[in-house]
């Protein structure tokens, strides 16, 4: 649904600004747009009704995109270790007990190591305010 709305937006934008049809088109976004941008580029590319957009489309990019829950979770563990945010011991413990399956822990030791990684990586912060005057 979002892709269809974006296509309508592009069509209307080009109707209002026909001089823009001469320009190159790059579709891009970041974070959650990693789920939408490739689909939008494909829709533009394959649509016979969007021939002027297809000619304009030069490519797409996604910065730090969300792609797939399993892939993103597995990459998080390796990334945190590579950046020095996880100790070698904790990383090796997780690697040994999870066998690379960090998004769906196959056993209790793996689940324990993933929880420890989350605790280290995303510490819980409590903020309290003194409301007495």
Tokens at 120, concatenated: 């280290």
Residue 133 has pLDDT above 70, yes or no: no
Q: What does the pLDDT read at residue 121?
A: 72
92 and 107 part of one domain: yes
Examine residue 28 and state whether it is found in any structural domain, yes or no: yes
Domain of residue 80, residue span:
69-120
Examine residue 126 and state whether it is found in any structural domain, yes or no: no
Residue 126 has pLDDT above 90, yes or no: no
Quote the CA–CA distance of 17 and 11 in Å, as a whole number: 10
pTM exceeds 0.85: no
Count the helix, strand and coil residues of the chain and give each as a percent rounded to the nearest 5: 60, 10, 30
Q: What does the pLDDT read at residue 55?
A: 85
């Amino acid at each position: 649904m979002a892709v269809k709305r974006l296509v309508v937006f592009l069509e209307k934008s080009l109707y209002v600004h026909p001089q823009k049809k001469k320009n190159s088109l790059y579709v891009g976004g970041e974070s959650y747009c990693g789920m939408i941008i490739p689909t939008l580029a494909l829709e533009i590319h394959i649509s016979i009704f969007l021939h002027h957009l297809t000619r304009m489309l030069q490519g797409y990019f996604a910065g730090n995109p969300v792609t797939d829950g399993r892939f993103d979770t597995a990459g998080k563990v390796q990334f945190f270790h590579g950046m020095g945010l996880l100790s070698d011991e904790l990383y090796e413990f997780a690697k040994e007990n999870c066998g690379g399956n960090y998004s769906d822990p196959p056993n209790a030791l793996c689940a324990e190591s993933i929880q420890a990684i989350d605790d280290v990586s995303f510490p819980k912060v409590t903020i309290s305010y003194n409301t007495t005057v």
